[in-house]
Structure formats: structure tokens, C-alpha cells
Amino acid sequence: MPEFQRNLNLILDTITDGVLVVDSLGMVLYANPAAERILDRHELVGKSLAIPIADGEKPQDINLIRHGGMAWAELRSAPIEWEGVLGYVIGLRDVTVRKKVEDELKRSNDELDQFAYAVSHDMREPLRMITSYLALIETSLAEKLDEDTRQYLRFAIDGAKRMDRMILAMLDFSRVGRKTAPMAAISSREVLDDALAILAPDIVAGATVEVTGDWPELAASRDELLRLLQNLIGNALKYHEPEQPPHVEIHAEATPALFRAEIRDHGIGIEPSQSGRLFKVFSRLQARARFDGTGVGLALCRRIVEHHGGRIGVESAGEGAGSTFWFELPRTHARSEALHETGCRS
């Protein structure tokens, strides 16, 4: 027993986290060296400390005034009996650096919000003017323009409209996790039904959509999950040969911990060697003349899945063999709590 006590004392003397034992009135019964360093006070035993004590597993952050300025510590506490005295054992961890990083991140996000507003308002407004005046020129000079000039004007108008769509897509990309609905318990089937309702105009004559499997409740951001399903199903409806109406199979399965969804099409397929490019921003495998898009959709899907702590991927045997896009999400709130405490082929 004496050897065990010596080893325990050695551990408490060398760890970087602070350990305190206080009685019910806050009188210090024990303090290791790290606790004295974090609190910037020495010879704490026998002194009274005004430290908030809360039972439970979840830590709380407390503000400290040290000789070096403002500091922060993370505190955990639990009831204990120490040499016959009822009190609390308190764990302290210096999180001053973490707090500074969080403050800097918040400032950076605020600046990003301001930039996003400038992009959405100030940059899109001149694009709309360009599009409008080019259209007016095309209309007012219609009888005087030859076919080549009219085609040049159409190219310019299409380019301005495409840039506007790209700006909107990048705004959506930047808002994931910041300007979207918080994680909450939602019905995955209800979100799927909403996505299919939005995509109804894209389900052309002869197209079929088949839904199977288990669509349970899970913890997710509703609008992010909606955008994820909308993008993946929209792609499945879009990438097919003109003479072949799209057929899309949507399947889901779940365990108590994990939700997995698969969206399979019978369309143009993907060369396996190119699949790694799909989820990068502005990466396109198909010519824009054949399939229009911004090149951001699948990157947005990847960002949404990663924000939920999940995975996303694609399987295809090659051109003409169709594709299966899949994603997996945890069904609990663990990812959102952790965040709080610290594209489609287009």
C-alpha cells in the first residue's frame, strides 16, 4: 500500500491537469502542483477557494485572473470522501489557448458572414445588370444583328447567368454548419419525401423512382439533409442518355448507431479511376455542353456529410454502367455536441 501511495503521489505531482480536493465549504484539502500553476496560487491547502462546483460529467469553463492576464480553465467535479470529510474532487485543465482559438474562429466566421453578404448582394447585382442589358441589346437590335453576333450575345448572357449560379452554389457551400438548421431529431423519410417533392418537375415522362428500406429518425440538420438528398437524387435523374428515361433506386438501412443511404441510377456511369475527383469543388467529369451545372454540388454533399461526422462515396463499373452514390451518418447527437463544445455531379 505505501508503494501504491507513492506511485499515486508521483502521478498527481507530474500530470499537467490540476487536481483539487475541497470540503463542502470550499476549503482546500489537497492540491497538486498543476492546480497551483493553473490557479496561479501557491500553498493552497487550508485556504478557501470560490470555485463553482457542479456535479456531473459535462465540464464547465471558468474565467481566471492570473499575473499574465486573463485565462480559462475547464473544470469537472464529483463528490468524494477525503479522510472522513465529505467534499469534492475537482479536475482542472488549462484551456486558455483553446479559448483564444475559438475566439479567433468566431471572429473569422463573422468576417466570412460579412463577405458572404457582399458576394450575395454586391457582386450579384452587377451580374444581373450585365444579363439584363445584354438581353435588351439583343432584343432592340434583333433585326440588325447577324447570326454570329446573336450567338456571341447568347454566350455572354449564358456566361453571366452561369457565374451567378456558381456564386450561389459557393454561398451554400460556405453556409454548411454555420447558417443551417441545428442538429435535431428528424424523420429521414419525411426529409426524403420533401426532396422528392422539390424534384417532381425533374421526374420526366417515363422516369421511375423506387424507394425501399428503413428510413428511421436520426440526429441531423434538416435543411442540410434535404439538400444532400436533393442533390444526389437530382444527379441520378439528370445523368442519363436522352433515349433512356432515368430509373433511380433509393435504399436506406440503419443500425442503432448508423444510418446508410444509397442512390443508384442506371445512367452514364463513372470511370472508377475518376471517382476521386467527383467531390472536389469545381471538378467536372462531363462537358458543360452536355450536362449543365456549377461543379459545386458534390463538394457540397461531401461537406454536409463531414459536418455530420459521416462518410460519402460512389461506386460504378464504368461508362454506361450506372452509379451508386452512398453516404453514412451517425444517428446520435455526438457530432453536434462535439462541435458545440470546442457535389453533386454538376
pLDDT at 287: 45
Average predicted confidence (pLDDT) for the chain: 81
Model confidence at 286: pLDDT above 60: no
Q: For the chain, how big is the Rg over CA atoms in Å?
A: 29
pLDDT at 43: 86
Domain boundaries, the chain: 2-94, 100-175, 183-341
pLDDT at 220: 93
Asked if residues 167 and 123 have their Cβ atoms less than 8 Å apart, the reply is: yes
Residue 256, Cβ density class (10 Å: 0-12 exposed, 13-18 middle, ≥19 buried) = exposed
pLDDT band at 294; cut points 50, 70, 90: low
pLDDT band at 293; cut points 50, 70, 90: low
pLDDT at 144: 84
Lowest mean pLDDT among 47-56, 87-96, 258-267: 47-56
CATH number of 183-341: 3.30.565.10
pLDDT band at 281; cut points 50, 70, 90: low
Asked if residues 4 and 24 have their Cβ atoms less than 8 Å apart, the reply is: no
C-alpha 210/C-alpha 202 separation (Å) is 15
Q: Which residues contact 144 (CB under 8 A, 6 or more apart)?
A: none
| Identical fold, 2-94 and 183-341 | no
Section 169-196 average pLDDT: 83
Q: Which of 12-21, 173-182, 196-205, 327-336 has the highest mean pLDDT?
A: 12-21
Section 154-175 average pLDDT: 79
Note the pTM of the prediction, 2 decimals: 0.59
Section 245-267 average pLDDT: 91
pLDDT at 222: 92
C-alpha 15/C-alpha 316 separation (Å) is 52
Strand partners for 314: 325
Section 279-296 average pLDDT: 58
pLDDT band at 330; cut points 50, 70, 90: very high
C-alpha 199/C-alpha 210 separation (Å) is 14
Going from the C-alpha of 320 to that of each of 83, 240, 265, 316, the distances in angstroms are: 76, 9, 10, 9
pLDDT at 191: 95
pLDDT at 283: 62
Looking at per-residue pLDDT, the higher value among 316 and 35 belongs to 35
Model confidence at 67: pLDDT above 80: no
C-alpha 188/C-alpha 192 separation (Å) is 6
Section 112-126 average pLDDT: 73
CATH number of 2-94: 3.30.450.20
Looking at per-residue pLDDT, the higher value among 274 and 166 belongs to 166
C-alpha 53/C-alpha 251 separation (Å) is 49
Section 138-154 average pLDDT: 85
